Amino acid sequence: MYKMIGADGREYGPVPAEQLRQWIREGRANAQTQVQLAGDTAWKPLGELAEFADLLGAAAAGGAPPVVGPSPTVSAAPSAAINPEALAAEILARDYQVNIGDCIRRAWELFKSDFWLLLGACVVAMLIAGGGGIPYLGALISLVVGGPMSGGLYLFLLKKIRKQPAEFGDIFLGFSTAFVPLMLGYIVSGLLTGIGVLFCIIPGIYLGVAWMFTLALIIDKKLDFWPAMELSRKVVTRHWWQLFGLVLVLGLLTFVGFLACCVGVFVTGTLASIAFMYAYEDIFGARP
């Protein structure tokens, strides 16, 4: 993943290598364009990166048009214009591993560092996403708000994990930034998983795990619901059993909270949510 400074002086990204190649082909970047590899602090000319040398040489030989800043509709915000196919290919090419114990350990360290804010945000998000326990209407409310509320919580947790400024109100950002995709992602993935369980349990379990990162991808990568579902499925399938194990362990961790007079579920549920997002970040986050 890379960041780039456009001709307009604005910073764009992080974007995958394929997006940079597209900008080179369009004449929006050249050998002098300043880029930064994700996880690095130094900016350097694009021409110094060997992986783009052939494309830059072809662009120079062909007399590429003057460089202009990338279109605001493409990358005015971080993670905008992500190509899900390219991102899936990039992740699968470098591969990944999920260390369940390490995800929980890091989650606990983060939880301890800002206990009350994280606990409060997760408890409120869980209660609202679950329909607030309202009889009869609760299930309908959950269908509408469950996706946006969960997406907002995931964004809040990602900000904390990435050491970005985060505040309690961030848990509601799903309603203002991606309400329809999050709602549809929540409903469609849940409905199709339910159908899979109804007709044959194994396909339902597979789909439930395969689509586990759908809402996080929608809110983080600015994707529509179906591309997010497909991206999650393709990437998760590579190490499906590892992520199935993660789901089981986090589910067991949450269940343990019920044994502590039910109140403990808020603590263990918060810890599980943070660990879940650490796994997401390990897989889909920017890599050096």
Least confident segment among 126-130, 183-187, 223-227 = 126-130
Q: Please say if the pLDDT value at position 27 is more than 90.
A: no
Are 250 and 275 within 8 A, CB to CB? yes
Quick one: average pLDDT of 114-118?
98
Q: Per residue in 44-93, pLDDT tens?
A: 888 888 888 888 776 555 544 444 444 433 333 343 457 899 899 989 99
* Alpha-carbon gap, residue 129 to 186, rounded angstroms: 11
List, in order, residues 6 or more apart from 217 with CB less than 8 Å away: 223, 228, 231, 232, 284
In whole angstroms, what is the distance from residue 46 CA to residue 31 CA? 5
- Highest mean pLDDT (candidates 40-54, 83-97, 146-160): 146-160
Go through the domains of the chain in sequence order and give each one's CATH number. Answer: 2-81 (3.30.1490), 96-284 (no CATH)
pLDDT at 81: 56
pLDDT above 90 covers a percentage of the chain that reads: 59
Per-residue b or e along 255-280, where b marks 16 or more CB atoms closer than 10 Å to that residue's CB: eebeeeeeeebbbbbbbbbbbbbbbb
What pLDDT is attached to residue 72? 38
Tokens 């179906």 locate to 226
pLDDT digits (tens, 9 = 90+) for 213-272: 999 999 999 999 999 999 999 999 999 999 999 999 999 999 998 887 777 899 999 999
The answer to whether the beta carbons of residues 273 and 120 sit under 8 Å apart is no
Gap between the Cα atoms of 99 and 141, Å rounded: 35
Residue 188 confidence (pLDDT) above 60: yes
